[in-house]
A = this chain, B = another copy of it.
């Protein structure tokens, strides 16, 4: 297997081929939980180390599974990896349902809307690019937009991306945690302070294992020298709102726009809930919700969907995503017995299925999905990002 993902060609995980291995997954966000659940389902003995599994940046997320509307010329590898994961999502959700879970998968698609001529120009560039790579996208006029979403205001033009999905990130995390438990994953409620081949150190001791999987998001950088400088914290704030008795219900599609230079999305949830996101700051590991972040999100949302002003503001939250130096995640072997599954930036929920499948393949000594090749941790020469 190492020949597929690691050109060093050492023994690595090859020794794990075809037998159950002891796996320690460090980090219980959507990636760590997905990896732990799928690895346990494949017959491995799995421990997941996290003081608060099911929280972290994944808890503070919109839940968009949207590789097409996130696409941009020059980022083809991310598009291909995202699309491959999107294709795996219905099967992943079905497996989760079989284990008693329900991530509330929604297939209404994404509406990207333009408020002015400049935005419309940007959408035009994206539409031409998506045409050129043969992705389904429909140009919609202002009138068509209003017919699709009567609550929109002041929009000039838009793109409908019918293939995008969304999930309720919190239902997903709760489902994954329960499914992992059901499959025998043992949860260790501690913080990993150090990892080495064959062991994970926490405040209360050392856990032995055959393979460590680093899925600690932005915290991964300090757990392995190969990730230091490659993965960094990127703060994001989101709001959760709820339609009230006499207010217009949320849009049926995910709606995205850029308001005064700031990207904003509105993701509908069951029961009249609406998630507004997301600010982005380089702010270290700060998880403070700021007045300005909240004001900008509310202002932006009211501009494109005015009824949101009447909604109840249910929650404000901030999380720290793991940004990658080249926007692609790190999935694969860092050294024998140590795998990375981190750096997913805003795409952790989207890329959870393909990441879990890649890790499970590596544990079995099999070839991971071809699209994950671009996410090999050794793609950047040592020091390239330092």
Contact = CB atoms under 8 A, between A and B. Distances in A.
A310 interface: yes
Q: Ordered nearest first, which 4 A-B pairs have the shortest CB separation?
A: A292-B309, A295-B298, A288-B312, A291-B311
Contacts of A294: 294-295, 298, 313
Nearest to A286: B244
Contact of A299 (B288, B299, B310, B312): B299
Nearest to A241: B291
Nearest to A292: B309
Interface of A: 239, 241, 244, 288-292, 294-295, 298-299, 301-302, 308-313, 316
A8 to B, nearest CB: 44
24 contacts: A239-B291, A241-B291, A244-B288, A288-B312, A289-B312, A290-B309, A290-B310, A290-B311, A290-B312, A290-B313, A291-B298, A291-B301, A291-B308, A291-B310, A291-B311, A291-B312, A291-B313, A292-B302, A294-B298, A294-B313, A295-B295, A295-B298, A295-B302, A295-B309
Contacts of A310: 290-292
Contacts of A312: 288-291
Residue with the greatest number of chain B CB neighbours at <10 A, chosen from A294, A299, A309, A313? A313
A82 to B, nearest CB: 31
Contact of A316 (B244, B288, B301, B313): B313
A291 B306 CA distance: 10
B291 A309 contact: yes
Which of A241, A298, A301, A311 lies at the interface centre, i.e. has the most chain B CB atoms within 10 A of its CB? A298
Count chain B CB atoms within 10 A of each CB in A239, A292, A301, A302 and give the residue with the most.
A292
Contacts of A239: 291
A128 to B, nearest CB: 35
Nearest to A239: B291
Contacts of A295: 294-295, 298-299, 302, 309
Candidate in A288, A301, A308 with the most chain B CB atoms within 10 angstroms: A288
Contacts of A313: 289-291, 294, 316
A291 B302 CA distance: 9
Select the residue from A291, A310, A313 with max chain B CB neighbours within 10 A: A291
A295 B292 CA distance: 10
Contacts of A298: 291-292, 294-295, 298
A300 B310 CA distance: 18
A259 B168 CA distance: 38
Contacts of A290: 309-313
A149 B316 CA distance: 30
A313 B297 CA distance: 13
A108 B222 CA distance: 48
